[in-house]
Amino acid sequence: MERLQKIISARGITSRRNAEKLIVEGKVKVNGVVITELGFKASPDADIEVNGKQTTKNNEKFYYLFNKPRLVLTTMYDPKQRKTVADYFKDVPTRVYPVGRLDYDVSGLIIMTNDGEFANFVMHPRYEFFKTYQGLCKGKVSKQQVSQLLKGVKIEDDYFTKAIQAELLNYDQEKDQTIVEMTIAEGKKHHVKQMFSAIEANLMKLKRTKIEFLEVDDLEVGRYRELKPHEVKKFYGIYQSTKRKEDLKVK
């Protein structure tokens, strides 16, 4: 017997955290009975409905690295009929969903999977997986401003946060635009945008170029590729590594 939210997550319906929300809202049935108790346990082979739809046990796991375009929602459905990440995965063998989020107006890398346990692991704040972003800013961003990102800034509700890495990549004098690269190990809502705002940089566009060792490379915007088995496995070893613990000392 396993907790209901774990079974739902393992079947690739949604993350464990969101499954808990659905249970509390009375949107989950087990063998025809509505369940609202988070501690409820069921057989992994139980008859489970979520939002009125029957779920099926799926033992095959799928993992994709997706280069999300701007103006695309990181959700599986939008009542306003705006484009979502789900629109790009209609031809895959099973329903996959995003691991974490990227703002509507932010482009770049996001992992899509039907493996709820993996998704829950990667999203958990305890493991502090690194994510790298490039921000296109109007005007010239100074070395002092970038240095402040490394020293730390206060964002919403006086929350203090630091970049793991930050550097000036390029200043285009003709266009009067600067590209700043920053790596963080946290993920509050609008986190990176707020950090740019804290150093008074005029952010125009933002894209995520890396998730840990996964890089955008030549993956075109709006396209995806399958993750290799060793890439999936590598995530589980990262947090235990000595190098990771040393990297986090800069925080």
- Angle of the 16-24 helix axis to the 116-123 helix axis, nearest 10: 100
Using a cut of 0.85, tell me whether the model's pTM lies above it: no
State the angle between helix axes of 229-238 and 116-123 in degrees (0 to 180), rounded to the nearest 10: 40
Q: Name the active-site residue from 45, 47, 78, 103.
A: 103
52-70 pLDDT tens trace: 888 876 667 899 999 999 9
What is the rounded radius of gyration, in angstroms, for the C-alpha atoms of the chain?
A: 20
The torsion angle over the Cα atoms of residues 149, 251, 124 and 233, rounded to 10 degrees, is 100
Taking only the tens place, the pLDDT of each residue in 170-222 is: 999 999 999 999 999 988 889 999 999 999 999 999 999 999 999 999 999 99
Find the angle CA(139)-CA(140)-CA(144) to the nearest 5 degrees: 140
Sign of the CA dihedral 8, 9, 15, 16?
Answer: positive
pLDDT tens for each residue of 124-151: 878 889 999 999 999 999 999 999 999 9
- To the query of whether residue 103 is one of the catalytic residues in this protein, the response is yes
Q: Give the domains, in start order, of the chain with CATH numbers.
A: 2-54 (3.10.290.10), 63-114+224-242 (3.30.70.580), 130-211 (3.30.70.1560)
